[in-house]
A and B are shown apart, each in its own frame.
Chain A
Amino acid sequence: MKNVLFTSAVVALLALSGCSSKEPVVDAPVDEKVEQPVQEVEAVKTEEVATEDTSVLGENAANMSDSNEMTIANLEKELLSVYFDFDKFSIREDMQNNVANDAKVAKGAPANLTVKLEGNCDEWGSDEYNFALGLKRANSVKNALVAEGVDASRITMVSYGESNPVCSDKTRECWSKNRRVDFKLLP
Chain B
Amino acid sequence: MKKILFFLLLLSSFVHATNATIEVIKKVDALPTLALEDASINYDDTFRLQFFKSLVADLNVLALFNVDRHYLKNHFNSADVLLENNKMDYVLRYKLSQDDDGSLNVALLLLKEKESVLSKTYKIANKNVYMFLSHSIAYDINSFMGAASVDWIKKKVVFARMSEAKKSEIIIADYTLSYQHVVIKDGFYIFPKWANKEQTAIYYTSLDNGKPTLEHIDLKTGKVSKIYSSDGMLVCSDVSLDGKKLLLTMAPNGQPDIYSFDIEQKKLQRVTNYSGIDVNGQFLDNETIVFVSNRLGYPNIFSKNTKTGVVEQMVYYGQSNSSCSVNGEYIVYKARESSNAFSDNTFNLHLISTKTDFIRRLTATGVNEFPRFSRDGDAVLFIKNYKAQSSLGIIRLNHNKNFLFPLKSGRIQSMDW
* A interface residues (Cβ-Cβ under 8 A, vs B): 86-87, 116, 124-136, 138-139, 142, 156-161, 163-166, 172, 175
Chain A hits for B168, CB < 8 A? 163
Contact with A along B319-332 (1 / 0, CB 8 A): 01011000000000
B231 interface hit (Cβ, 8 Å)? yes
Flag if A135 contacts B254 (CB, 8 Å): yes
Chain B hits for A138, CB < 8 A? 232, 254
15 CB < 8 A contacts A-B: A124-B341, A126-B322, A129-B279, A129-B292, A130-B322, A131-B235, A132-B278, A135-B256, A139-B255, A158-B207, A159-B233, A161-B190, A163-B190, A165-B165, A166-B165
B21 CB, min distance to chain A CBs, angstroms: 26
Flag if B341 contacts A86 (CB, 8 Å): yes
Bound-state Cα–Cα, A156 to B413, Å: 24
Chain A hits for B369, CB < 8 A? 126-127
Chain A hits for B188, CB < 8 A? 163
Bound-state Cα–Cα, A130 to B249, Å: 12
Return the contact of B323 from the options A127, A166, A172 (Cβ within 8 A): A127
Q: Which residue of B lies closest to A131 (CB)?
A: B233
Q: Which residue of B lies closest to A162 (CB)?
A: B413
Q: Which residue of A lies closest to B275 (CB)?
A: A136
Query: Range of interface residues on chain B?
Result: 35 or more
Flag if A129 contacts B299 (CB, 8 Å): yes
Flag if A158 contacts B233 (CB, 8 Å): yes
Chain A hits for B166, CB < 8 A? 160, 163-164
Return the contact of B251 from the options A116, A126, A132, A165 (Cβ within 8 A): A132
Chain A hits for B279, CB < 8 A? 128-129, 131-132
B341 CB, min distance to chain A CBs, angstroms: 5
Mark out the residues of chain B between 373 and 417 whose CB falls within 8 Å of any chain A CB in the assembled complex.
Answer: 413-414
Q: Which residue of A lies closest to B370 (CB)?
A: A127
Chain B hits for A86, CB < 8 A? 341-342
Return the contact of A129 from the options B191, B251, B323 (Cβ within 8 A): B323
Chain A hits for B190, CB < 8 A? 161, 163
Bound-state Cα–Cα, A183 to B322, Å: 27
Q: Which residue of B lies closest to A168 (CB)?
A: B165
Given A129-B277, A132-B249, A163-B190, also A87-B341 (CB < 8 A): yes
Given A158-B210, A164-B166, also A142-B254 (CB < 8 A): yes
Bound-state Cα–Cα, A130 to B292, Å: 11
Chain A hits for B210, CB < 8 A? 116, 158
Bound-state Cα–Cα, A145 to B223, Å: 42
Chain B hits for A165, CB < 8 A? 165
Flag if B292 contacts A157 (CB, 8 Å): no
A90 CB, min distance to chain B CBs, angstroms: 11
Flag if A157 contacts B232 (CB, 8 Å): yes
Report which residue of A87, A131, A133, A157 has the largest number of chain B beta carbons within 10 angstroms of its beta carbon: A131
Given A126-B322, A129-B322, also A136-B207 (CB < 8 A): no
B26 interface hit (Cβ, 8 Å)? no
B237 interface hit (Cβ, 8 Å)? yes
Bound-state Cα–Cα, A60 to B341, Å: 56
Flag if B232 contacts A159 (CB, 8 Å): yes
Chain A hits for B292, CB < 8 A? 126, 128-129
Chain B hits for A158, CB < 8 A? 207, 210-212, 231-233
Flag if A163 contacts B413 (CB, 8 Å): yes
A153 CB, min distance to chain B CBs, angstroms: 12
Bound-state Cα–Cα, A172 to B341, Å: 10
B334 interface hit (Cβ, 8 Å)? yes
Mark out the residues of chain B between 140 and 183 whose CB falls within 8 Å of any chain A CB in the assembled complex.
Answer: 162, 165-166, 168
Bound-state Cα–Cα, A130 to B370, Å: 13
Flag if A128 contacts B191 (CB, 8 Å): yes
Bound-state Cα–Cα, A8 to B168, Å: 35
B317 interface hit (Cβ, 8 Å)? no
Bound-state Cα–Cα, A181 to B291, Å: 26
Bound-state Cα–Cα, A131 to B256, Å: 9
Flag if B277 contacts A133 (CB, 8 Å): yes
Chain A hits for B211, CB < 8 A? 158
Chain A hits for B320, CB < 8 A? 87
Chain A hits for B370, CB < 8 A? 127
Q: A128-B292, A131-B256, A158-B212 are in contact. List 10 more A-B contacts (CB 8 A).
A: A127-B414, A128-B191, A128-B279, A131-B279, A132-B279, A136-B277, A138-B254, A139-B232, A163-B162, A163-B188
Mark out the residues of chain B between 166 and 225 whose CB falls within 8 Å of any chain A CB in the assembled complex.
Answer: 166, 168, 188, 190-191, 207, 210-212
Q: Which residue of A lies closest to B299 (CB)?
A: A129
Mark out the residues of chain B between 38 and 56 whose CB falls within 8 Å of any chain A CB in the assembled complex.
Answer: none
Flag if B342 contacts A164 (CB, 8 Å): no
B141 CB, min distance to chain A CBs, angstroms: 35
B299 CB, min distance to chain A CBs, angstroms: 5
Bound-state Cα–Cα, A127 to B190, Å: 10
B280 interface hit (Cβ, 8 Å)? yes
Return the contact of B165 from the options A125, A136, A163 (Cβ within 8 A): A163
